[in-house]
């Protein structure tokens, strides 16, 4: 198993502070203490708030360096308990409708981060992302003289 590697430490003279320098393991060699159990568990990734107008080439989720679109979701993985996997929900997902997009809003389940790694728990679990629709508004004013001052547009 690869855990944090000890490099060196030192103390400041007449101080109770100890400085300990550690090097994190490479993610590919990182192992969980539960990995020896060799029991499979299911992790399900799903997303809400995205409509069918999502661009067909738009990546919504990346798991272990593999990209998935909205049509791939929900996506289930049967992994060994304790194995470590990396995921990332895209911050913005494009629509086929100009000026419309979906922005990541929140996450629930066994992780609370948009991008994170997980050690697969014995009981498995789910990770669900919620997206909110955003629209591009372009506001312009025409016909104003160079002496125009104050509010031109008020949006309530």
Which of 94-97's residues contact partners 24+ apart within 8 Å by CB, and which partners? Answer: 94/54, 94/55, 94/58, 95/51, 95/53, 95/54, 95/55, 96/53, 96/54, 96/55, 96/56, 97/53
Q: What is the pLDDT of residue 151?
A: 67
Residues 73 and 48: their CA atoms lie apart, in Å, by 10
Q: Kindly give the pairing relationship between strand 40-48 and strand 18-23.
A: unpaired
Q: What is the pLDDT of residue 4?
A: 46
What domains are defined for the chain?
32-135 (2.60.40)
Structure tokens at 76: 């289930």
Residues 56 and 102: their CA atoms lie apart, in Å, by 14
Q: What is the pLDDT of residue 32?
A: 53
Q: Which of 43, 97, 99, 113 is nearest to 75 (CA)?
A: 43
Q: What is the pLDDT of residue 6?
A: 42
Q: What is the pLDDT of residue 87?
A: 97
Return the bridge partners of 10, or none. 19
Residues of the chain with pLDDT under 50: 1-12, 15, 18-23, 25, 27-29
Q: What is the pLDDT of residue 7?
A: 43
Q: What is the pLDDT of residue 65?
A: 95
């Amino acid at each position: 198993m690869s855990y944090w590697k000890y490099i060196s430490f030192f103390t400041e003279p007449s101080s109770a502070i100890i400085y300990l320098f550690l090097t994190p393991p490479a993610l590919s060699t990182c192992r969980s203490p539960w990995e020896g159990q060799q029991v499979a568990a299911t992790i399900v990734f799903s997303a809400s708030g995205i409509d069918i107008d999502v661009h067909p080439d738009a990546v919504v989720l990346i798991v272990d360096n593999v990209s998935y679109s909205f049509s791939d979701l929900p996506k289930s993985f049967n992994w060994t308990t304790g194995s470590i996997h990396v995921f990332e929900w895209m911050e913005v997902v494009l629509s086929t409708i100009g000026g419309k997009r979906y922005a990541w809003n929140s996450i629930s389940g066994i992780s609370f981060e948009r991008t994170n790694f997980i050690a697969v728990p014995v009981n498995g679990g789910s990770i669900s992302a919620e997206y909110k629709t955003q629209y591009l508004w372009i506001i312009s004013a025409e016909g104003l003289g160079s002496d125009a001052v104050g509010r031109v547009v008020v949006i309530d």
